[in-house]
Amino acid sequence: MAQILSLLLLAVMIFAIVDAVTSDNWRIRYLPKVAWVLLIVFLPLIGSILWFVLGKERTAPVDHGSFGDPRRRESLPQGSSTEDDLAAVEREIEYHEKQAEIRRLEAQLKAKRSEDPKP
């Protein structure tokens, strides 16, 4: 009976170590990955239980979208090159420059309309 419990504890410990080592960093909570592995090794039963109960995040991270412009949520196509990226950045800069020019011209037009009295 003691041998079965020892093998069961060993199996749980090995499973916990493998699970901790192969988990993504965003899934690990409260302690760094190395600390969790050391805790499991030095305190096999308690460390394994703590790992499965507290150490691992069970849900995927929530994507709150990008900050600011909703167009940034679009993902880049696979296989895009640096030249394509630079061209996209240049197009975005040109777009924003045109928008700034439009705002400047609208402000000038508004100022001229307010200066000229209408007959």
Q: Is the model's pTM score more than 0.85?
A: no
| 27, 39, 47 from 10: Cα distances, Å | 24, 14, 12
Residue 106 confidence (pLDDT): 95
| 47, 81, 84, 92, 119 from 78: Cα distances, Å | 42, 9, 11, 20, 61
Residue 64 confidence (pLDDT): 61
End-to-end distance of the chain based on CA atoms, in angstroms?
106
Domain ranges of the chain: 2-55, 82-119
Contacts of 23 (CB under 8 A, 6+ apart): 33, 56
Q: How many CA atoms lie within 13 A of 117 on its CB side?
A: 1
30: left (phi over 0), alpha (psi -120 to 50) or beta: left
Q: What is the pLDDT of residues 72-84, one digit of tens each?
A: 555 555 656 788 8
The stretches in the chain having pLDDT less than 50 are none
Residue 58 confidence (pLDDT): 72
User: Which DSSP symbol is given to 56?
Assistant: B
Q: Which residues pair with 76 in a beta bridge?
A: none
